[in-house]
Structure 1
Amino acid sequence: MKQRFLAIVLVLVGFGSKGQTTVDSVVAPAAVLPGVFADPHIAAFGKKFYIYPTTDGTVGWKGTTFSCWSSNDLRKWKNEGVILDLPRDLTWAKERAWAPAIAKKNGKYYFYYSADVNIGVAVADRPEGPFKDPIGKPLIPKGTVKGQMIDPMVFIDDDGSAYLYFGQGNCNIVKLNDDMISCDLSKIISFKPQGYNEGAFVFKRQGKYYLMWSEYDTRDPRYSVAYATADSPTGPFVKAETNPVLKGSGAIKGAGHHSVVQVPGTDNWFIAYHRFKIPDGNGYNRETCISPMRFDNKGNILPVDVFEPVPAVKAKR
């Protein structure tokens, strides 16, 4: 309550004589990662949380490396360093390292990522890497289906089946083989939820499957997150009546391309996402944030308060 009161006071102090805010960034919680990072994939492994982001800061998103960040409490983050370097570690792509995701199966960590508008996969024994390319080529090559082959996300169901979600313009789903590094491209399911642009993310709660995605373009201040639900990981998905569930407000612009994490052993959930850097950010200079994410008693996702700071939370199992 004290923090919220202080934020309100700061807003009032920031108004000038003409009723305009002179310093509005003071009401926004600080980004959780220093510098410019976007498209964060957040996960919990063991007693730690991890974030795998896109390295931002170049026009055209020309980044060439992926990093990993770890935390014991969601608030203080340690840079674990570069876990995949495209020019060094790949033979088929050198730049445009975007929007990674990670999953654990068979005692291994599988890292999915966009590289030069293809989707690749890398494998490691630890969540901090280093990751190696096991197939020497894209898992999903550009041109496989309509739209861009970007923004992979992997969901592992209770029975161990793994599904890869990806795509810009359309949402695509394909079941991964048990080895997690191959799939049957002829069995891709493609569809377009109303408003869908990119950044699919899937999770399961109380028997219900949630498909979330980003609407508009990441350079658009209206960039935001919506969702749909289904009784199966492959749909059909029905868009919720109340959307978007994450959007910018005031000083916070372009809030989107998210992921969510469940605190192990609890029904506490958090959403990681990027926004335009404050101040002077844009679609090429974005920063990573975390907010609590809650549900009503019917399982609907409640609107996320982007001004609510993330509390200190332990990932103990």
Structure 2
Amino acid sequence: MKKQRKKIAQLFVGAVSIVLIINACKEKDIAPGESVKAEVSTSSAAQLNAIGLMSGNPILPVPTADPDVIYADGKYYIYTTATGPNASQFHAYSSPDLLNWTDEGIVLDLANVSWAQTDGWAPSVVARNGKYYFYFTAAKKIGVAVGDTPIGPFVDKGSALATGDGSDPIDPMVFIDTDGQAYMYWGNTTFNIQRLDSDMISLTGERGHNKPSNYFEAAYVIKRNDIYYLMYSVNHFGNDDYHVEYATSTNPMGPWTNKGRITSPRGEIKGPGHNAVIRKPGCSEEYFFVYHRRTSTNIHERQVAIDRMFFDAAGNIMPINITNSGVTQTGPSAPCYTPDPIPDGQYAIRSKVNTTTGAGLYLDIAGCSQGNADVRTWTRTDCDGQKWNLTYQGNGFYKIISALPTHKSLDLDACGIDRGANIQVWDVFSNDCQLWRIESLGNGSYRIMSKSSNNVLDIADGDPTPGADVRSWNWNGTDAQIWEFEAP
């Protein structure tokens, strides 16, 4: 899926990882922010793409597509389109923390399905009645298999659940409403919606076809504040601009009002689509957006990725920022983040890194420049270049504006997606380069994350020398990435 130079790079990273694992056995102390990946076996392959304490993207160890995601028994599980002979073998991948993913092996093999043995696509999994229900496409029909655990083994019910209307009745998605009623959504071009019976393996009631504008395939539904959000993919999956849009309704069967696009290609990353969404367990407003994308010109070499999803103050889904760093480590004990932990006001922003003599280092505009300028560290001064006005935007993010007379905004240079992108102050714009999420780490410490890249403010190389560059970097938990907000 990746270009040849990236395949070579992956082999190099894998070799380095093996060396690190060996060294870790000799030296029990691991540098802060570094994580040694689980050992790899033929039956359980752990993902090696995690960087620092972030998932990295893509997150799964093999090219695959059309993900669904659930949380069960203390783990996240992702299910994807089948691999193997004639796309006949469905796998599940599990993770306790969104960083390290283990291939749980084949959970359903179409060789064991009597009515279809090819083209196993786009599964959807839900838990109910003490069982797990695995909905899938096979030979352009919808099937359902039942298992006792999130990894099965899943046993097909013995016949197709539905064919649906239209020429391509594919991509099932099952949503269970708060009143207990379950619905299945499916279909390419023609959109099918129908209730599931309480047994979860038969359909009941009238079939609906309310379709939002631009709908093509891959429906996914969530409910938030009594509003139903229907996400769906637009264009053929091989199109570079394959993307996700969404619509809303007050009824799970529609009608639907299109609200616009939430993913777009970014640089060499094409076709971000066919998504699923999961809310962090126990947290009311933390959503993760799982989807596939590609960097290869081969449209079949797709990769599964994960990024954050946010709502604005009016309840609209904000455009998803497609990133390379992915999301931070999120296990069962991880706290829920408060979207606005710092009151609006003016602050000096101090690093946890001190100089070698113990003096504090602060986020500083070089030379107190009143124009567009670089941001660095410096010891405390009276200059307004160390005073920052924070204003919460009502959507999980802040604007951070210099107190200098020209009022420049803290800015991620060119909205750089890669770690190492420069931090500066620039003319104030409304784009994501100038939106920042502030997340509490406890004890008055915070990380400051770019909406555009999901990377954090970082002192280059943890340099304690005044004047060190401030850049963006993936979160690794080192002092160079931890900040405090003090009275100016």
TM range (shorter): 0.7 to 0.9
Residue 83 of structure 1 contacts residue 129 of structure 1 at CA under 8 Å; is this kept in 2?
yes
1:251 to 262, 268, 292: 268
Cα displacement (A) at 1:191: 2.8
Hey, what does 1:23 align to over in structure 2? none
Question: How far apart are the structure 2 equivalents of 1:236 and 1:115?
Answer: 29
Cα displacement (A) at 1:316: 5.2
Does residue 66 of the first structure (1) align with residue 90 of the second (2)?
yes
Does residue 166 of the first structure (1) align with residue 183 of the second (2)?
no
Question: How far apart are the structure 1 equivalents of 2:230 and 2:322?
Answer: 20
Does residue 94 of the first structure (1) align with residue 117 of the second (2)?
yes
Hey, what does 1:157 align to over in structure 2? 177
Hey, what does 1:226 align to over in structure 2? 245
Hey, what does 1:133 align to over in structure 2? 156
List gaps (5 residues or longer) in structure 2. Answer: 1-55, 335-488
Specify whether residues 294 and 33 from structure 1 end up closer, same or farther in structure 2 by C-alpha distance, changes over 3 A only: same
Deviations 1:23-73 (A, max 9, x none): xxxxxx531001211000011113111100114599xxx311100001011
Residue 210 of structure 2 contacts residue 255 of structure 2 at CA under 8 Å; is this kept in 1?
no
Question: How far apart are the structure 2 equivalents of 1:162 and 1:316?
Answer: 30
1:272 to 284, 287, 290: 290
Does residue 306 of the first structure (1) align with residue 325 of the second (2)?
no
Deviations 1:1-32 (A, max 9, x none): xxxxxxxxxxxxxxxxxxxxxxxxxxxx5310
Does residue 217 of the first structure (1) align with residue 275 of the second (2)?
no
Q: Secondary structure at the match of 1:188?
A: strand
Tell me which amino acid in the other structure corresponds to 2:60. Answer: L
Question: How far apart are the structure 2 equivalents of 1:75 and 1:314?
Answer: 9
Hey, what does 2:168 align to over in structure 1? 148
Hey, what does 2:57 align to over in structure 1? 30
1:289 to 295, 305, 308: 305
Q: Secondary structure at the match of 2:156?
A: coil
Hey, what does 1:24 align to over in structure 2? none
Q: Secondary structure at the match of 1:187?
A: strand
Hey, what does 1:77 align to over in structure 2? 101
Question: How far apart are the structure 2 equivalents of 1:311 and 1:80?
Answer: 23
Residue 111 of structure 1 contacts residue 131 of structure 1 at CA under 8 Å; is this kept in 2?
yes
Residue 57 of structure 1 contacts residue 286 of structure 1 at CA under 8 Å; is this kept in 2?
no
Q: Secondary structure at the match of 1:114?
A: strand
Deviations 1:246-293 (A, max 9, x none): 1211110011001000011111000111111x3x34321101000001
Hey, what does 1:15 align to over in structure 2? none
Residue 291 of structure 1 contacts residue 309 of structure 1 at CA under 8 Å; is this kept in 2?
yes
Tell me which amino acid in the other structure corresponds to 2:159. Answer: K
Deviations 1:205-262 (A, max 9, x none): 121110000000101010000001111111111111xx21012111100110010000
5 Å-filtered alignment, 1:93-132, equals 93-132=116-155
1:189 to 208, 217, 221: 208
Cα displacement (A) at 1:147: 3.1
Q: Secondary structure at the match of 2:213?
A: coil
Question: How far apart are the structure 2 equivalents of 1:86 and 1:158?
Answer: 33
Cα displacement (A) at 1:164: 0.3
Deviations 1:159-182 (A, max 9, x none): 111000000002210000000000
Does residue 239 of the first structure (1) align with residue 239 of the second (2)?
no
1:52 to 79, 82, 96: 79
Structure of greater relative contact order (alpha carbons < 8 Å, 6+ residues apart) = 1
Does residue 42 of the first structure (1) align with residue 69 of the second (2)?
yes
Question: How far apart are the structure 2 equivalents of 1:38 and 1:251?
Answer: 18
Question: How far apart are the structure 1 equivalents of 2:311 and 2:153?
Answer: 36
Moved more, 44-53 or 107-116: 44-53
Cα displacement (A) at 1:108: 0.7
Aligned residue pairs, count: 278
Tell me which amino acid in the other structure corresponds to 1:301. Answer: I
Tell me which amino acid in the other structure corresponds to 1:127. Answer: P
Q: Secondary structure at the match of 2:245?
A: strand
Residue 76 of structure 2 contacts residue 95 of structure 2 at CA under 8 Å; is this kept in 1?
yes
Q: Which has the larger radius of gyration?
A: 2
Cα root mean square deviation, aligned: 1.7
Cα displacement (A) at 1:294: 0.6
Specify whether residues 116 and 72 from structure 1 end up closer, same or farther in structure 2 by C-alpha distance, changes over 3 A only: same
Residue 212 of structure 2 contacts residue 255 of structure 2 at CA under 8 Å; is this kept in 1?
no
Residue 86 of structure 1 contacts residue 93 of structure 1 at CA under 8 Å; is this kept in 2?
yes
